[in-house]
Amino acid sequence: MIAKKQLRQNTKKYWKHLSFKQRQAYQKDLMAQLLALPEWQEAKVIAITLPIGGEIDTQPIIDAAKSSNKVIVIPKTLPGKQMVFGILTDKKALKKSAYGILEPGEDAQWVAKETIDLLVVPGLRFARNGQRLGHGGGYYDRYLVDFTGQTVSLAFPEMFVDEPDWEVTTYDLPVNKVLVAKEDEIK
Ligand SMILES: Nc1nc2c(c(=O)[nH]1)N(C=O)[C@@H](CNc1ccc(C(=O)N[C@@H](CCC(=O)O)C(=O)O)cc1)CN2
Ligand SMILES: Nc1ncnc2c1ncn2[C@@H]1O[C@H](COP(=O)(O)OP(=O)(O)OP(=O)(O)O)[C@@H](O)[C@H]1O
């Protein structure tokens, strides 16, 4: 087992050194895989995050959802490591959180957990069985406890392993699917 802290650092370092071209290729491939999923096609309400650090650029995914008249909701973190999701409308209505992530503003329209059809779960490292390593807040682990919709995560190849190489606890809930960007010759 490798310390979670070490693995998180590794991913952040990897993000830093990933070339723009390679990143673009991975993002394009992941988006194509996501849009091809029945879970995506059938979803009316999709929850996703706005990126921090080197996380995947979700804007093209959000644009695709909007062109298909899907509703996009994004999280707001609350005390007690809880989250609520609010409808993403105007970028100007967003507010920066303490983590430096854009969140819905005060007057956003909040949605009940049951209305989210597909939850795109962020993370730094993923395993084939759907286990994930996040930023360490436990926000998604708490949210997933009673979430009944579909879940999917998006991984660049170096963020994906066959088996978790970190310690998995009973709090850690797997996602239904992990999509992995296909490797190619771009460097
Ligand atoms: N883009 C995005 N939005 C998200 C999440 C996410 O993982 N990605 N979250 C998913 O939960 C929630 C926010 N959770 C977060 C938890 C911790 C840190 C963070 O920056 N932690 C520090 C160090 C933490 C520590 O070890 O004390 C860091 O990573 O440097 C960021 C977001 C909701 N929004
Ligand atoms: N359902 C839960 N109830 C209570 N505590 C929890 C729950 N889920 C996680 N925790 C606690 O939250 C802390 C962070 O968990 P963990 O390191 O798994 O976060 P993460 O999955 O990396 O982050 P995130 O879910 O925010 O992306 C741990 O101390 C863990 O025990």
Higher pLDDT: 185 or 18? It is 18
* Per-residue pLDDT tens over the stretch 9-46: 999 999 999 999 999 999 999 999 999 999 999 999 99
Q: What is the pTM of this model?
A: 0.96
Please state the rounded mean pLDDT for residues 155-179.
Answer: 98
Would you list the domain boundaries of the chain? 4-181
CA distance 53 to 110: 26
Q: Looking at residue 91, what is its pLDDT? A: 84
- Please tell me the predicted confidence (pLDDT) of residue 90: 86
Indicate whether 186 pLDDT > 80. no
Q: Indicate if ligand 2 lies below 6 Å from the C-beta of 173.
A: no
- Ligand 1 close to Cβ of residue 174 (< 6 A): no
Question: Taking a C-beta distance cutoff of 8 angstroms, is the pair 85, 145 a contact?
Answer: no
Is pLDDT above 90 for 109?
yes
Superfamily of domain 4-181: NagB/RpiA/CoA transferase-like (3.40.50.10420)
List the beta bridge partners of residue 151.
119
Question: Is 80 among the annotated ligand-binding positions?
Answer: no
Alpha-carbon distance 155 to 183, whole Å?
A: 11
Asked if pLDDT for residue 92 goes beyond 90, the answer is: no
Helices (H), 37-90: 38-42, 59-67
Instruction: Quote the pLDDT of residue 22.
Output: 96
E runs forming strands in the chain = 45-47, 71-78, 82-87, 94-96, 102-104, 110-111, 118-120, 125-127, 132-133, 150-155, 160-161, 177-180
The answer, yes or no, to whether any atom of ligand 2 lies below 6 A from the CB of 137, is yes
Q: How does the average pLDDT of the chain come out, rounded?
A: 96
Which of 142, 55, 65 has its CA nearest to residue 100?
55
Structure token pair of residue 186: 């771009």
Q: How far apart are CA 121 and CA 138, in angstroms?
A: 12
